[in-house]
Amino acid sequence: MRIQIDSEKCQGHNRCYALAPQLFDVDDYGAALVLNDGIVPAGLEDTARLAIANCPEYAISEVASEVASEVASEVASEVASEVASEVAS
């Protein structure tokens, strides 16, 4: 899981930092920053989702991972090929 903050939306409420200091920090101006390049360590996914849900400005979002997107594309291609084979039979 990977998260990001839209710095244009962040108003510095810092609920994310209060809920998940393992995932967020605050800059000198009070704006939130993601730690670890936004990569959520295993076991902290629910904490990240809690922070996302509690942002009053909706500034935090989950980023679809490239690996997950690639796997989904491959699975979709395989399923489409199987369906096409069955239809042709």
| Domain boundary assignment for the chain | 2-63
pTM attached to this predicted model: 0.71
Q: Taking a C-beta distance cutoff of 8 angstroms, is the pair 55, 48 a contact?
A: no
Separation CA 27–CA 34 (nearest Å):
10
pLDDT of residue 41: 96
Residue that is written with structure tokens 């291609």 in the block? 77
35 to 9, 17, 38, 75: CA distances (angstroms): 18, 10, 6, 32
2-63 to CATH, choices 3.40.50.11810, 3.30.70.20, 3.40.50.920, 3.40.440.10 = 3.30.70.20
Separation CA 44–CA 7 (nearest Å):
22
pLDDT of residue 68: 56
pLDDT of residue 83: 77
Separation CA 14–CA 55 (nearest Å):
8
pLDDT of residue 81: 79
pLDDT in tens, the chain (89 residues): 999 999 999 999 999 999 999 999 999 999 999 999 999 999 999 999 999 999 999 999 999 866 555 655 666 677 777 777 878 87
